[in-house]
Amino acid sequence: MSRAGTPQSTNTFLGMPARPPRVPYGEGNLRGEQAFPRAAAGELRNEQLRRNLGRATGTIRGKRIAVTAELPDWEELRDAGAAIKTDALARLPELLEELERRVTERGGTVHWARDGAEANEIVTRLVRATGSDEVIKVKSMATQEIGLNEHLEQAGITPWETDLAELIVQLGHDRPSHILVPAIHRNRDEIREIFLREIPGVDPGLDAVPEHLAAAARAYLREKFMTTRVAVSGANFGIAETGTLGVVESEGNGRMCLTLPETLITVMGIEKVLPRHQDLEVFLQLLPRSSTGERMNPYTSLWTGVTEGDGPQDFHLVLLDNGRTAALADSVGRQALNCIRCSACLNVCPVYERVGGHAYGSTYPGPIGAVLTPQLAGMHAAADDPNSSLPYASTLCGACYDACPVKIDIPSLLVELRHQKTEETGRSAERLAMRAAAAVMGRPRLWTAAQRTARLGRAVAGRDGTIGRLPRPLSGWSDTRDTPAPPAQTFRDWFASAEGAAALREAAREGERRSADGPAHGDDQQEDQ
């Protein structure tokens, strides 16, 4: 639905509240070209990717567990983090206005963007006003989400990504596959080849030692840092009380971008606002430990507007909606806005570990992406919207909930989105099948007959006892899964057989022996003593 189609949304406080719009279809990077099962099937065949991912996620998992276990108050920090974010969202209007006031008082300029297209236009206009035709960029999820780089390029402005992994992705004409380590799908040999091909004047004898590759990137980007007059960044948080913005990083490329250019443009989602400076004490403990498994990341920069003699003298903050208010309007789904982009949920997810980030088709992959993406960009009624497959890209094992530093109940959100999907966009065939299943399960005779028929499935199973491919419409299931062959005998048949009756008699005798041996639960009582 277009903005023009919902006049209430531009006139909100005068009449009835209207449901805020999601990101318009086809804009930005919140939707892939293929539904998850199809995209995942392709990625699963990439053995290099699976090896890289398995090793990487395993390593970060281990580090995270070690450093979170060091803090005896880890659970209390999670509770505080979740409550601070929930409280901030509940008071979002006043906090955003306070942030705007403080940033303006300190010499910054605040811009508001309804969607990605508007944010891209604002940034482009600001860059043009400086006369520069290039910008240096700190890795930013928000600008990736809105496709800022592509927009700038179309406008004749060259964006230089300065985070090593983002640089690898950019030079490789590739897409990020992980929130924290965007080039996790590339190994050192591939990176060496990309550098040899794409970096002008690079030493042709460059080897694949990570230290040497990093040094090549350092030499390449130094010149950009020293000469580029405009930088674009994201923000990990914006503090309403003081107007302070914060960026958390490791390499120093962030510090370079935030301090050396004359103009700094920061694009921040409106959900990143924190009420008070004191709240940093919670998030600076939760974020690094959850994301890289470090006690603290090497560099955190905090800046407030403009400071004479230190850093950019022209500062712009672009506050971005882009579907965030649509998520906020859902009392269950708004929890996803608590996300601090640490990526802990990706690293513990059995699905992500096997398929990688590209299969999700969105800037936000993994479990949080599977709930955040459909909420920001919608699961459009068109049955082939790839986003409507994302809530199913999960085993609902709950590992993501355990790992989340701000306790986002991702499994429940996935189930809720599945519900919304079938309610709003369920295909009639799917509904018919579910209705047919309900009818059969409600009639014992029919159910038994159906189960016996299912045994025919054994005829199509391979030697390993799995069915590779089923005919349509069941192919929708079997294309992306191996289905175990049905057992030779249904439970009901077994129950009625001589073998089943014998097993039951044996179980009954066992029960009698136990009750004759002593009081019930005797074993348990002993253990208690």
Partner 1 sequence: MSAARETVLGRVRDALALAPPARTTVPRAYRTGRLLPDEERLGLFTDRLTDYRATVLTCTADGTAAAVGRALADRGARRVGVPAGLDRSWLAGWDGEVFEDSADVPPRDLESLDGVVTGAAAGCAETGTVFLDASPDQGRRALSLVPDLHVCVVDLSTVEAGVPEALARLVTGRPTTLISGPSATSDIELERVEGVHGPRTLVVVVRTDA
Beta bridge partners of 237: 246
Is the N-terminal amide bond of 411 cis, ω within 30° of 0?
no
CA distance 307 to 244: 12
CA distance 450 to 308: 78
Binders in 3-42 for partner 1, by CB under 8 A = 9-13, 17-21
Q: Does 164 bind partner 1 (CB under 8 A)?
A: yes
Instruction: Write the interaction track for partner 1 spanning residues 241-260; mark x where CB under 8 A is met and - where it is not.
Output: xxxx-----xxxx-xx-xxx
- Name the residue among 351, 383, 387 with its Cα closest to residue 367: 351
Q: Applying CB under 8 A, which of residues 30, 39, 40, 84 lies at the interface with partner 1?
A: 84
To partner 1, the closest distance from the beta carbon of 299 in angstroms equals: 6
CA distance 172 to 155: 22
Q: How many residues bind partner 1 (CB under 8 A)?
A: 105
The nearer residue to partner 1, 241 or 479, going by C-beta atoms, is 241
Provide φ and ψ at 479, rounded to 5°.
-60, -30
The nearer residue to partner 1, 16 or 381, going by C-beta atoms, is 16
To partner 1, the closest distance from the beta carbon of 332 in angstroms equals: 9
Q: Applying CB under 8 A, which of residues 60, 127, 194, 414 lies at the interface with partner 1?
A: 60
Contact between 372 and 393 (Cβ < 8 Å): no
Q: How many CB atoms lie within 10 A of CB 326?
A: 20
Binders in 270-299 for partner 1, by CB under 8 A = 270, 277-278, 280-282, 284-285, 292, 294-299
In the 8-state DSSP scheme, what is residue 23?
Answer: P
To partner 1, the closest distance from the beta carbon of 155 in angstroms equals: 19
Binders in 175-204 for partner 1, by CB under 8 A = 181, 183-184, 187-188, 191
The nearer residue to partner 1, 21 or 411, going by C-beta atoms, is 21
Binders in 199-238 for partner 1, by CB under 8 A = 210-211, 213-214, 217-218, 221-222, 225-226
The nearer residue to partner 1, 218 or 455, going by C-beta atoms, is 218
Contact between 143 and 159 (Cβ < 8 Å): no
Binders in 325-354 for partner 1, by CB under 8 A = 325-326, 328-331, 334
Residue-wise DSSP of 455-524: TTHHHH--TTSEE----TTTHHHHTSSPEEPPPSS-HHHHHHSHHHHHHHHHHHHHHHHHHHHSSTTHHH
To partner 1, the closest distance from the beta carbon of 108 in angstroms equals: 12
Binders in 380-439 for partner 1, by CB under 8 A = none
